Amino acid sequence: MRAVLVLGFAVLLLALPASAAEWSPSTTWLAQAHCIHLKEGPWKANTGNGYFGGMQFAAVTWKRVGGAADPAFKHPGDPAYPFRALASEQLYRAWLVWKRDGGTWRSWGGVGTSCAQAP
């Protein structure tokens, strides 16, 4: 089952923007990202908690790693404004944060710590 989930995440990579063409995360990284996603929320999440998407980005973090401003940022918690970034872009931006953080999931706090143990 785990292999199928990692394969599903890998398929998302096919839809990456051209700027992410050189991105090739390991299967371990994908498994850890999947773990975080399962604990964080749906890809279109805009629940009003100040974080957005399936990896729960703060708007400032999203922009810091090159993500475009999203209408959801101006309408936190409004279901009429779901987070619009594709799952593949969210994974790519998460990878950029992970790299910036020295190859750790520290920006995801306790969730990141628990998922870093995923094989």
Task: Measure Cα distances from 68 to 2, 22, 55, 63, 98 in Å.
Answer: 32, 20, 16, 6, 18
pLDDT in tens, 83-118: 999 999 999 999 999 999 999 999 999 999 999 986
Model confidence at 14, pLDDT cuts 50, 70, 90, reads very low
Domain count, the chain: 1
pLDDT in tens, 42-73: 999 999 999 999 999 999 999 999 999 999 99
Nearest Cα neighbor of 48 from 94, 87, 80 is 80
- Write the CATH number for 48: 1.10.530.10
64 lies in which domain range?
A: 2-10+26-115
91 inside domain: yes
85 inside domain: yes
16 inside domain: no
19 inside domain: no
66 inside domain: yes
57 inside domain: yes
Average pLDDT score over residue span 16-39: 83
> Which pLDDT belongs to residue 22?
78
18 inside domain: no
15 inside domain: no
Please give the model's pTM, rounded to 2 decimal places: 0.82
